[in-house]
């Protein structure tokens, strides 16, 4: 039977964390948002406020709804601050060692009946679950970016995830107004298993000189009716996240077709991670994005 979720913890207040906090607060849940960086927490609260305002302008929500949603969100720099949450969603950086350390510290104070979820884009849910004290109450809840706009959430059961946890997660996601695609626990799940090799191939197309940034993005927007070009989308996702997902696919499926493009590696090494660092396949520091190749 599904458990009642009232209070949701969100670990990591980056682009996904602030979006998840946003939709949870609008869904009527109390939210505790955590980050190691006080500056990131402050920025996240400002982003949530700005995105709620945008929804008012589009007449999706009212001013009253915004006030109520903001009042439901509190911020904390410690994992102890999440101890009484019914569900905690981890959405820190896509690095397995960071996530494992978070789960280790979190489980030491989190109430035993609480469910723990990860928003990982690619890492094995079974393996992450095994690093906690509650593999049966661990699940993958994978939101899409930008969270307030995208309709889909993937649910991924680890080998030990019990039926009650799955049913609770389903009810929670439904209450957020999102559609669910259930994926088996294999590297990168469904959406990113298909999407990331396409993005990686677009980067190879650039690397091999088949087309420049502008040509590649225009080709896929006008030639395949994609709303965003693959390189623009890579910048939007974050090039570090794209590289991590390709590495998980490459290692997890042991197939050379998933080899991350050396040019993607180079951009990440330069710290050109896309929109979030204002430079990636495009330079966002001026009025208009300018291709960097």
Closest distance between ligand NAD and the C-beta of residue 1, in Å? 29
Apex 154 CA angle, 62 and 57, nearest 5: 20
Regarding 13 and contact with ligand NAD (CB under 6 A), the answer is yes
Q: Are 153 and 139 in contact (CB under 8 A)?
A: no
Nearer residue to ligand NAD within complex by CB, 86 or 240: 240
Regarding 183 and contact with ligand NAD (CB under 6 A), the answer is no
Q: What is the dihedral of CA 132, 34, 174, 156, to 10 degrees?
A: -30
Regarding 168 and contact with ligand NAD (CB under 6 A), the answer is no
Nearer residue to ligand NAD within complex by CB, 247 or 292: 247
Binding mask 218-257 for ligand NAD (x = CB under 6 A): -------------------xx--x----------------
Closest distance between ligand NAD and the C-beta of residue 25, in Å? 17
Token representation of residue 79:
């994992």
Peptide bond into 146 cis (omega under 30): yes
- How many residues of this chain interact with ligand NAD, rule: CB under 6 A? 27
Active site residues: 121, 142, 154, 192
d(CA 157, CA 165): 9
Q: Residue number with the shortest CB distance to ligand NAD?
A: 14
Residue written as token pair 């623009």 = 232
Regarding 35 and contact with ligand NAD (CB under 6 A), the answer is yes
Residue of 165, 139, 132 whose CA lies nearest to 153: 139
d(CA 132, CA 138): 8
What secondary structure does DSSP assign to 43-84, as a single string? HHHHHHHHHHHHHHHTTSS-HHHHHHHHHTEEEESSGGGGTT
Closest distance between ligand NAD and the C-beta of residue 245, in Å? 7
Closest distance between ligand NAD and the C-beta of residue 123, in Å? 8
Nearer residue to ligand NAD within complex by CB, 68 or 145: 145
Nearer residue to ligand NAD within complex by CB, 66 or 142: 142
Regarding 47 and contact with ligand NAD (CB under 6 A), the answer is no
* Contacts of ligand NAD in 89-128 (CB under 6 A): 91-94, 98, 102, 119-121
Instruction: Name, in order, each residue with C-beta under 8 angstroms of 204's C-beta and a sequence gap of 6 or more.
Output: 261, 263
Which of 40, 134, 157, 178 forms a contact with ligand NAD (CB under 6 A)?
40
Q: Which residues pair with 31 in a beta bridge?
A: 8, 73
Regarding 17 and contact with ligand NAD (CB under 6 A), the answer is yes
Nearer residue to ligand NAD within complex by CB, 13 or 168: 13
Q: Are 177 and 22 in contact (CB under 8 A)?
A: no
**Which residues contact ligand NAD (rule: CB under 6 A)?**
11-17, 34-37, 40, 91-94, 98, 102, 119-121, 143, 145, 237-238, 241, 276
């Amino acid at each position: 039977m599904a458990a009642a979720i009232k209070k949701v913890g969100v670990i990591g207040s980056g682009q996904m964390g602030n979006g998840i906090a946003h939709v949870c607060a609008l869904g009527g849940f109390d939210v505790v948002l955590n980050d190691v960086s006080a500056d990131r927490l402050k920025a996240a609260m400002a982003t949530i406020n700005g995105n709620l305002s945008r929804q008012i302008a589009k007449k999706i929500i009212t001013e009253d709804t915004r006030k109520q949603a903001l009042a439901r969100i509190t911020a904390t720099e410690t994992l102890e601050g999440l101890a009484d949450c019914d569900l905690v969603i981890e959405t820190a950086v896509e690095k397995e060692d960071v996530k494992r350390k978070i789960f280790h510290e979190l489980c030491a104070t989190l109430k035993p009946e609480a469910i723990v979820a990860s928003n990982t884009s690619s890492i094995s849910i079974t393996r992450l679950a095994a690093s906690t004290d509650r593999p049966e109450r661990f699940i993958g809840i994978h939101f899409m970016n930008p969270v307030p706009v995208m309709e889909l959430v993937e649910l991924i059961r680890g080998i030990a995830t019990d039926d009650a946890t799955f049913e609770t997660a389903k009810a929670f996601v439904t209450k957020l107004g999102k559609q669910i695609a259930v994926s088996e626990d294999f590297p990168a799940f469904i959406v990113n298993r298909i999407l990331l090799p396409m993005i990686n191939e677009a980067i190879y197309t650039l690397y091999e000189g088949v087309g420049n940034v502008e040509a590649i993005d225009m080709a896929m927007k006008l030639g395949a009716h994609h709303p965003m070009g693959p390189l623009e989308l890579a910048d939007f996702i974050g090039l570090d996240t794209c590289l991590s997902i390709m590495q998980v696919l490459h290692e997890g499926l042991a197939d050379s077709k998933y080899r991350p493009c050396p040019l993607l590696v180079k951009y990440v090494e330069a710290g050109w991670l896309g929109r979030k660092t204002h430079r990636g396949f495009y330079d966002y520091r001026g009025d208009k994005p300018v291709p960097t190749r």
